[in-house]
Structure 1
Amino acid sequence: MDNNGLSRRNLLRFAGILGAATTITAGLGACGEGGDSSGASGKTIEATLAFTLSSGFDPMNASSAVATTVNQHVFEALVDLDPITRKPYPALASALPSAGGDGLTWTVTLRDGAKFSDGTPVTADDVVWSFQRALDPASKSLMASFITFLDTVTAKDPRTVEFKLNSPFSLFPQRVAVIKIVPKAKTGDAAAAKAFDTAPIGSGPFTVVSANATAGVVMGVNPHYNGPRPAKVEKVTLRTTPDNTARLNDLQGGSSQAIEAVPYLDVSAVSGGKKVDEKQAFNQLFLMFNCTAAPFSDKRVRQALHYAIDTDKLITTALQGHATAATSYLDEGNAGYQKAATVYGYDPDKAKSLLAAAGVTNLSFELVTTDTAFVKDSAPVLIDAWKAIGVTATLNTNPSSAVYGTIVPGAGFRVLAASGDPTVFGPDVDLLLRWFYLNDTWTKNRHRWATTPEAKRCAQIIEDAAKTSGTAQTGLWKQALDLIAEEVPLYPVLHAKMITAFDPAKLKDFQGAATTGLYFLGASRG
């Protein structure tokens, strides 16, 4: 345990999806059941992901980019978010949840005949269990902070579930997507849950056939699936490598029909009829400060380091133009985007005056970064920008596991540059604000902003917004976005673009996503 009572294991759970290529020391064993179905075409989709498998698959705590990608194919929530459009659709539910007249009661009916991949029926008891285990503090669930509005979850009959809320929450129909439904019989105790983590059983169209930390994941077909997005191939093979050249070679050589994270320098090199799909994403390069350590406890110092950055130069130099300068915590492609009252345009004179006003001279510190490619490429540009205003930063680059496991929680930590993208869990404003500004792992153990009056005010605004809707909710979110932009305990410098490449002659009905991962729900081979 560290000094904040969080185990290293739990810290790594939170770190995995936001960091880059963390590794696990041993391969996950063969797991799951393969299968066939009359809807499968008899062909295999092969693709290459940009990250290695660094967590298990239990959706209550799955944290790695690979695991969350796989889980979108293997598990279902009552309502799922389309991985491309991010729009909610009934998955295990027969229809979108219906609200009672009191605004605190929601009812969901399960799809008739839904079964897990082991052939057992999906019941209301499984749904209740899936929510209860996530809410149980002993589970230390990654999803718990997203469903704090829940009071009780009850099975009214084998196919009907009733949710009682502790306060109105207008985003309920889409927020339930964060809880994937698991069989109670396979996760009912600690031993079973541990086995389930490497041998998952879901009700989605695919199953996990094998998984390995370095070799990747093979998915087969769930022969019992009767939902809205049946498998159109018999197998999906997901190779995993953070090596940019290897991914590009897989696509160009024909061994993969799709790859994620096309290297920025190599976008123009994609040829031979292959298609590049580029989407603006929330995925951000952010600066995070230890807000309890002087001089970074003074927001003027934090602001100064942002104003010193020529973000256009950074985007051109490190990302070859494939990003957008941050004008809010949210990216401009987000449906809830609102421009912040404070926008950090390039202004080195203002940066110097802020440092002077804070009484700071000859500032020097260690800049910690993760080893994500565009973060590593950005670090020298940041250091040069700060040097131009008389600030000295030395570089310390490490894998995400070390950054979030030991360096950031340590007493000597001051400034971090890293990437983050919680939109894999959902794109709504409430969820995204909660991730970095109400989650104890971030607010208390990382940027350490939680105890300030401003942080408490921000938390109250977010909670108040959750209880309302429409223009009132939008107005409160604007207050939170403005406050965060002024305080910058953790704040984006830019929002990167997600670049996917694929072979349209060999892959049908496929698009790149605006999050990490490749998704093949509804896709088939040409």
Structure 2
Amino acid sequence: MNRKTLALPAVIGLVAPLIAACGGSDGGSDDTSLKVGTTDRISASAEAPAPLDPAYAYDVGSWNILRQSLQTLLVQPRGGGDPQPEAAEHCAFTDTGNERYSCTLRKDLKFADGGPVTADDVKYSVERVLRIDSESSVAGLLSTVDTVETRGDREVVFHLNSADATFPYKLSTPVAAIVDPDEYPEDRLLDGFSVHGSGPYTMEAQVEDGTLAKAVFTRNPNYRGSLDVRNGRAELVAFETAEAMGTAIAGGDIDVMSRTLTPDQVNELDAKPDDGIEVVEMSGLDIRYLAFDTDAPAVQNKAVRQAIAQIVDRNELVARVYGAQSEPLYSLVPASLPGHSNAFLNKYGEPSAAKAAKILDEAGISTPVPLDLHFTVDHYGSATAEEFDVLADQLNASGLFTVGDPKGAPWKEFRPASLKGKYEVWGMGWFPDFPDADNYLAPFLDKKNFLGSPYANSKVQQVLIPRSRREPDRMDAAPSLTEVQDIVAEDVPVLPLWQGKQYIAARDDVTGTAYALNSSSTLQLWELGKGVGSE
């Protein structure tokens, strides 16, 4: 088997493992060029004309573009742990209540065009996101920001409206990226595919039919930050299918396959130890779940949602579709994070059509209940279609639901439609903004949630989430987080399905693959190089 398994920590506060990048740091140079494949399809449309504006972008594909070309005050370390300074020289809470956070910028920060980066630019960038407050709900990550103050050219102070121990992590995400005020309008989104920042690369977009076909990253000579850039140029090439991406790496047209490899591809590459391509397996924190429009007539009664939760067999789903590459998940919070509880397993136990029938009967729901399932065909990998066929089969086999063929749509249509309430039940994935249980709960349950869901629970929003954020030691937040998960299992506004691992495949002359992805599924192109060496 030619697979490397890397157990990178996913828990806040753990020390980064002492794993050397593939081949060390001697393989990368200004003239090193790499081509990386992806199946992420980033499109501009009338419904979503600004896919790469940090005030709108809120999916892993778009963020992976922004992380290469925009700079944040803090960055999540290559191997895990607390955020570390990036554009900042130093950041810290300056009060005992976690309500005032100050950062001092590095000296001589510059945008890619050579213009200076100042504290006023940081203030502008954050306030712009909050002012625009786009329908993607990405501004919700900054919901605890009350005011932003600058002190001279290098110090910026965030005054929060409530305690938020997770705030440093939020500053490490692209929503808090520093943008050039001369390029980004103050009160509207920047349409198209341009990105203007101070990150490790500049980006040139090659667009075909409104979709990003290739993002060409060139090392930014004006970059000042903490990242060690190990190549001079990296091209991120979009493929329509994982199979086409696999053909490209086999033919030497690309050097690396990133997300998303199919389960079959991982198994096939493992079985070929001498083909010059290596699979790297890393711990992942991505999850898949069903979302419900709790105002839709078919699922408005929570008994219907509870019955679905009682029927779905996660073990069968994982075994039939993903095998050892994922595991059943019984909460929105992955099993490896502090604060996780098996809330759905505790409430529903093993799958049972008889128990589901009792739930529906006691609620006076006539059966079979007609139901439509929706999924995206090009955002989470080609196995998604098979996954939804299995879910439909399970619900139909119970005799309590009538589910037609699941309906698939490309992400550029799927995401706007879900936000506009056109689906009653749809499948989504979540790649964490940062590795903390809060980021698996608040985005779905807080005000202006990521799903555009009408579901709201006042205790969750007004008591439990704020209480959990007051705890600097995240283990101390577990009681509040557990109660939130119990409420989710009772009301079922979402239904967690499985937690995945993450993989890349690379030709054997590529170095740095150990850190090509971090635990939040961030693509770290700056880690990759070419050379001779081994881990």
Q: Scaled by the length of structure 1, what TM-score is found?
A: 0.84
Query: 1:372-426, CA deviations, whole angstroms, 9 ceiling, x for partnerless residues?
Result: 4232111221122112211210122222333343367357x4322x122141x22
Contact 1:277 1:511 in 2 (8 A): no
Q: Is the counterpart of residue 40 in structure 1 residue 24 in structure 2? A: no
Counterparts in 2 of 1:346-425, with a 5 A limit? Answer: 346-360=351-365, 361-371=367-377, 372=380, 373-390=382-399, 391-395=401-405, 396-406=407-417, 409-410=420-421, 413-416=423-426, 418-423=427-432, 425=433
Amino acid at match of 2:198: S
Indicate the residue corresponding to 2:438 in structure 1: 430
Contact 1:82 1:89 in 2 (8 A): yes
Indicate the residue corresponding to 1:506 in structure 2: 510
Indicate the residue corresponding to 1:14 in structure 2: none
1:131 aligns with one of 123, 126, 134: 126
Displacement, 1:490?
1.1
Contact 1:214 1:241 in 2 (8 A): no
What is the SS of the residue equivalent to 2:372? strand
Indicate the residue corresponding to 2:7 in structure 1: none
Q: Distance in 2 between matches of 1:494 and 1:342?
A: 17
Displacement, 1:472?
4.7
Aligned sequence identity (%): 23
Contact 1:301 1:355 in 2 (8 A): yes
Q: Distance in 1 between matches of 2:251 and 2:286?
A: 29
Counterparts in 2 of 1:104-503, with a 5 A limit? Answer: 104-137=99-132, 142-178=137-173, 179-189=176-186, 194=190, 198-212=193-207, 213-260=211-258, 261-270=260-269, 271=272, 272-294=275-297, 296-340=299-343, 341-342=346-347, 345-360=350-365, 361-371=367-377, 372=380, 373-390=382-399, 391-395=401-405, 396-406=407-417, 409-410=420-421, 413-416=423-426, 418-423=427-432, 425-440=433-448, 442=450, 445-446=452-453, 448-450=454-456, 455-460=457-462, 461-470=464-473, 472-503=476-507
Amino acid at match of 2:466: E
Q: Which moved more, 1:333-342 or 1:476-485?
A: 333-342
CA pair 42-137 structure 1, distance change in 2 beyond 3 A: closer
Displacement, 1:456?
2.0
Amino acid at match of 1:420: G
What is the SS of the residue equivalent to 1:485? helix
What is the SS of the residue equivalent to 1:493? strand
CA pair 115-479 structure 1, distance change in 2 beyond 3 A: same
CA pair 281-358 structure 1, distance change in 2 beyond 3 A: farther
What is the SS of the residue equivalent to 2:481? helix
CA pair 339-320 structure 1, distance change in 2 beyond 3 A: closer
Contact 2:91 2:101 in 1 (8 A): no
Q: Distance in 2 between matches of 1:139 and 1:303?
A: 32
Q: Distance in 2 between matches of 1:133 and 1:77?
A: 15
CA pair 498-96 structure 1, distance change in 2 beyond 3 A: same
Q: Distance in 2 between matches of 1:339 and 1:419?
A: 20
Contact 1:53 1:64 in 2 (8 A): no
Amino acid at match of 1:366: D
Query: 1:182-201, CA deviations, whole angstroms, 9 ceiling, x for partnerless residues?
Result: 1223224468x637x53322
- Give the RMSD, CA atoms, in angstroms: 2.5
Amino acid at match of 1:201: H
Q: Which moved more, 1:357-366 or 1:201-210?
A: 357-366
Contact 2:30 2:233 in 1 (8 A): no
Ranges in structure 2 where 5+ consecutive residues have no aligned partner: 1-27, 45-50
Indicate the residue corresponding to 2:39 in structure 1: 50
What is the SS of the residue equivalent to 1:187? coil
Q: Distance in 2 between matches of 1:508 and 1:442?
A: 33
Query: 1:13-68, CA deviations, whole angstroms, 9 ceiling, x for partnerless residues?
Result: xxxxxxxxxxxxxxxxxxxxxxxxxx833110111011122253222222354321
Contact 1:280 1:333 in 2 (8 A): no
CA pair 520-153 structure 1, distance change in 2 beyond 3 A: same
CA pair 160-427 structure 1, distance change in 2 beyond 3 A: same
What is the SS of the residue equivalent to 1:333? coil
Q: Distance in 1 between matches of 2:99 and 2:311?
A: 48
Amino acid at match of 1:268: N
CA pair 392-279 structure 1, distance change in 2 beyond 3 A: farther
Q: Which moved more, 1:277-286 or 1:151-160?
A: 277-286
Contact 2:86 2:225 in 1 (8 A): yes
Contact 1:53 1:216 in 2 (8 A): no
Q: Distance in 1 between matches of 2:84 and 2:318?
A: 36
Amino acid at match of 1:421: W
What is the SS of the residue equivalent to 1:167? coil
Ranges in structure 1 where 5+ consecutive residues have no aligned partner: 1-38
CA pair 503-53 structure 1, distance change in 2 beyond 3 A: same
Q: Distance in 2 between matches of 1:515 and 1:49?
A: 17
Displacement, 1:347?
2.4
Displacement, 1:110?
0.4
Counterparts in 2 of 1:57-68, with a 5 A limit? Answer: 57-68=52-63
